[in-house]
Chains A and B, each alone.
Chain A
Amino acid sequence: MTASRTAWLPRLVVAPSFLVGFLFIYGLIAWNGWLSVSASRLLPNYGFVGFAQYAALFESERFHVALTNMAIFGTLFIGGAMAIGLLLAVLLDQKIRAEGVLRTVYLYPMAISFIVTGTAWKWMLNPGLGLEHLMRQWGFESFTFDWLVDPDKAIYCIAIAGVWQSAGFVMALFLAGLRGIDDSIIKAAQVDGASLPRIYLRIVIPSLRPVFFSTLMVVSHLAIKSFDLVMALTAGGPGFATDLPATFMYAMAFSRGQIGLGAASATVMLATVAAIVVPYLYSELRTKR
Chain B
Amino acid sequence: MTRFTWHRLVLWSVLLLFAAWFLAPLYVMIATSLKDMEQVRTGNILSWPTSPTFDAWAKAWGTACTGTDCGGLQPFFMNSVLMVLPAVAVSTSIGAINGYVLSKWRFRGSETMFAMLLFGVFMPMQVVLLPMSQVLGWLGIASSIWGLILVHVVAGIPSTTLFFRNYYVGLPDELIKAAMLDGAGFWRIFTRIVLPLSTPILVVTLIWQFTNIWNDFLYGVVFSGADSKPITVGLNNLSNTSSSVKEYNVDMAAALIAALPTLFIYAVAGKYFVRGLTAGAVKG
Contact = CB atoms under 8 A, between A and B. Distances in A.
B157 A273 contact: no
Contacts of A123: 28-29, 32, 45, 248, 251-252
A44 B134 contact: yes
B102 interface: yes
Nearest to B32: A123
A24 interface: yes
Contact of A254 (B222, B248, B274): B222
B25 interface: yes
B175 interface: no
Interface string A127-156: 001110110010000000000000000000
B226 interface: no
A232 B45 contact: no
Nearest to B122: A277
A101 to B, nearest CB: 9
Interface residues of A, number: 104
A13 B266 contact: no
A176 B274 CA distance: 10
A231 interface: yes
Interface string B232-245: 10011001100000
Interface-centre pick from A20, A123, A169, A273 (highest chain B CB count, 10 A) = A123
Main secondary structure of the interface of A (DSSP, over half): helix
B169 to A, nearest CB: 9
A285 B125 contact: no
Contacts of A169: 277
Contacts of B70: none
A134 B45 contact: yes
Contacts of B128: 24-25, 28-29, 32
A218 interface: yes
Given A17-B157, A121-B25, A214-B282, A25 B130 contact: no
Contacts of A200: none
B146 interface: no
A173 interface: yes
B3 interface: no
A39 interface: no
A25 to B, nearest CB: 5
A253 B129 contact: yes
B89 interface: no
Main secondary structure of the interface of B (DSSP, over half): helix
A184 B126 CA distance: 47
Interface in A256-289: 259, 262-263, 265-267, 269-270, 273-274, 277-278, 281, 284-285, 287-288
A226 B79 CA distance: 24
B186 interface: yes
Contact of A120 (B28, B102, B135, B186): B28
Contact of A119 (B26, B125, B134, B255): B255
Interface stretch (B13-21, B51-59, B61-69, B192-200): B13-21
Interface-centre pick from B94, B125, B252, B255 (highest chain A CB count, 10 A) = B255
A168 interface: yes
Contact of A164 (B22, B44, B105, B282): B22
A129 B45 contact: yes
B9 interface: no
A20 B132 CA distance: 12
Interface stretch (A47-55, A56-64, A67-75, A109-117): A109-117
B130 A10 contact: no
B107 A11 contact: yes
A196 B265 CA distance: 37
B120 interface: yes
B44 A134 contact: yes
Contact of B273 (A6, A88, A111, A245): A111
A176 B154 contact: no
27 contacts: A9-B105, A11-B101, A13-B101, A21-B157, A24-B154, A24-B155, A25-B117, A25-B158, A28-B128, A31-B131, A44-B130, A91-B11, A96-B15, A108-B270, A111-B265, A115-B258, A116-B232, A116-B259, A119-B252, A120-B29, A129-B248, A164-B22, A196-B7, A228-B232, A232-B235, A270-B126, A287-B283
Given A13-B101, A44-B130, 18 more contacts: A6-B105, A14-B98, A20-B157, A24-B128, A25-B117, A25-B128, A27-B131, A111-B273, A113-B258, A114-B217, A121-B25, A123-B29, A123-B252, A172-B278, A214-B281, A214-B283, A231-B217, A249-B129
* Nearest 4 A/B pairs, CB to CB: A10-B105, A113-B215, A111-B266, A31-B131
